[in-house]
A and B are shown apart, each in its own frame.
Chain A
Amino acid sequence: MSEFDVIVVGAGPAGSSAAIKLASEKMNVLLVDRADPPGSKNISGGVLWGNDLEKIVPNWNKMAPVERYITSKGVGFLTKDSSIDVNIKSRKFLQGVTGYSVLRVKFDQFLAKRAESAGAMLVSGVTVENLAFKDGKVIGVVQEGDTITADTVILAEGANPRVAIDSGARRPIADQDVAIGIKEVVKLPEATINERFGLTSKEGFAGEYALGFLEDGVEAGGFLYTNRESISLGVVINMGHLRADDKTYSFDIMDQFTDHPSIASLIENGKLSEYSAHLVVEGGYNSFPKQYGNGYMIVGDAAGLSFSNGLMIQGMNYAIASGILAAETAIEAKKSSDFSEKSLSRYKEKLMESFVAKDAYNFKGIEEVTWGKLAHKIMPSLMEDVLVNMFLTDGTPKKHLTELIRKAMKENNVKSSDLLMEGYKMIRRM
């Protein structure tokens, strides 16, 4: 007889969602996090889309400590001297709005407490060292030499899943699985943020940027979103490119982003309040690790469940959705008293039927585009040349647009065939 039906390792959105679902179905759950308070090691790089959270915490957006709801989205291409931005602000975003900016220390604590009030045992400030095995099956976790037993263990450790890797439950992380995320939180008065982004107090902006100004072969993306009284912004750096370059420092890319004129003006006179870093799961469909086995399931970032199509980054909602699906599987496994790999393979089936895997499948190979020359180098420099020349008034006669494009392509050494090829790849993948 196990001490718990389920032990959940990690109280981020994935783990806490699993625990909420399990506890609300009267399962005996232990939710353990190595941070105290839970969530105080977690950071976010984007917007929380709350459709799935709604299923386990109805009206969560009325109760949870959210910052702003996202009414304005932006995509920007930054070159050394210019920025070409597309900003979309639409009343249509307000219909059934589910996207919120959140600060994770507060938010994750809220979710963990929800799990506790649903009946889970919440233990924070305790590091799980390893999984406990018996006859090739996971029977619990090991902490300071003691084994705590459970029928099922759900690993929700995040992007750097030590227990999952060290116990052999998942394969180690490779260059192509992750990017290096660096983020800063800059304090600014609420009124200043509203003014700079054209927002009312509850409305928020979320933008993503291609950092076309980076020299050499390094490609990185930037993100920026508004909290109530601060701006979160950061960079996501391709690990393989940084390695191949071997002369660019990750933290310098962060400075180059915040120093870019069009970003600097958004955070001007702000006070840096926090610097943080986090691996960003980048792998996608083609590199999902094994997500379940005898007596265990892996959810959220730890299971490679994150997604970016270059316009939208999704992580927290996949974490929540996968946590709920793992919880459902654990509940079914208990009903049949079967916690074998075969029984828990239902989790994988549920994932494959869900939007999580479908998004990943539909956009598989997207990394070819999001980490491609077109998005990071060709498009930014071409658009800069064309648009700047179009609007620059220097007393010479205006040129026709096609002439400007041809000239820009020549100056940027872009062949029509390259542009077609890269453009085709982009359209196919997106």
Chain B
Amino acid sequence: MKVEEKLSLLNYKTDPEYAHITIKPPICAVCPDHFCTFACPAKCYTLLNGKLNFKYEDCVECGTCFVACAHGSVTWTNPKGAHGVKYKFG
């Protein structure tokens, strides 16, 4: 099963007005490793034609990308109250 299908099993309360993670595209444009694409377990970071594509909506809030990015591109804040991923089991 693909990660995308696994993520579709999850409940999210997506906040359309607030992206809790933001990236700085000029930094990603010249990034030599794009380690975020390997590290993020939710595949929020992907390369499309060599350009980094990021979506916060699938984020499971683990915090991996903030540690993974060694170039200072990732700004990580908590989603606003009660938003984001909502697990059933944990």
Q: Is there a chain A Cβ closer than 8 Å to B25's Cβ?
A: no
What is the interface size of chain A, counting residues whose CB is below 8 A from a CB of the partner?
56
- Quick check: A42 and B89 within 8 Å, CB to CB? no
Which B residues touch A178, using CB under 8 A? 67
Q: Is the CB of A248 within 8 A of B7?
A: no
- Given contacts A243-B33, A248-B38, A273-B88, list 5 more A-B pairs with CB under 8 A: A40-B90, A103-B90, A247-B38, A274-B88, A277-B64
**A401 sits at the interface (CB 8 A):** no
Closest to A187 in B: B89
Chain B, interface SS category: loop
Beta-carbon contacts under 8 Å, B30-85 to A: 33, 35, 37-43, 60-64, 66-68, 70, 76-82, 84-85
Q: Is A112 located at the chain interface by the 8 A CB criterion?
A: no
Given A34-B79, A127-B81, A160-B61, A103:B67 Cβ within 8 A: no
Query: How many A-B pairs with Cβ below 8 Å?
Result: 133
Given contacts A247-B38, A249-B38, A250-B38, contact A173 B79 (CB under 8 A): no
The 5 closest A-B pairs by CB, nearest first: A160-B63, A104-B90, A125-B82, A275-B6, A277-B41
Chain B residues within CB distance 8 Å of chain A: 1, 3, 6-7, 9-10, 33, 35, 37-43, 60-64, 66-68, 70, 76-82, 84-90
Q: How far is the CA of A129 from the CA of B80 in the complex (A)?
A: 9
- Taking the complex as formed, is A279 at the interface, i.e. its CB lies under 8 A from any CB of chain B? yes
Residues of B contacting A160 with CB < 8 Å? 61-63, 66, 76
A86, CB-defined interface residue at 8 Å: no
Task: Compute how far the CA of A143 lies from the CA of B53 in the bound complex, rounded to whole angstroms.
Answer: 31
Residues A251 and B87 in contact, CB atoms below 8 Å apart: no
Q: List 12 A-B contacts (CB under 8 A).
A: A41-B85, A42-B87, A163-B78, A175-B67, A182-B41, A239-B68, A242-B35, A243-B35, A250-B41, A274-B90, A275-B7, A276-B10
Q: A36 to B80: give the CA distance in the assembly, Å.
A: 11
